Homo-oligomer: A and B are copies of this chain.
Amino acid sequence: MNCIFCQIAKKELPATIIYEDESFVAFKDINPIAPIHYLIIPKKHITSINHLELQDKELMGELFLAAKKIAKTQGIADNGYRLVFNVGKDSGQMVDHLHLHLLGGKKLLWS
């Protein structure tokens, strides 16, 4: 499979990794739209939220516990942050490997 996020998870492609555990890797987005902009991905290849299966339920829960932990260690838990999944073309999803955007470090727009 030629998935670039699978390759990042396996360290076959470079990325600025800021967190890793058994199930997830988090790294800096190369086109940041906020002072803090990380992508948190499961090491397991899941294409998008549209491709979630019942068996992924626990993994998805763990992803948000990881996101909470990363926001805290990166110092944005108190001021606040945004978590985003883009799904499909209307959203601008760029890579077909499920990834959670963690955005923070400024007042985030909403419109």
Residues of A within 8 A of B (CB): 33, 49-50, 52, 54, 56-62, 64-65, 67-68, 71-72, 76-93, 104-108, 110-111
Contact = CB atoms under 8 A, between A and B. Distances in A.
6 contacts: A49-B64, A57-B58, A57-B65, A83-B84, A84-B84, A91-B104
B68 A61 contact: no
Contacts of A107: 90, 92
Number of copies: 2
Contact of A58 (B58, B82, B105, B106): B58
B50 A77 contact: yes
A24 to B, nearest CB: 13
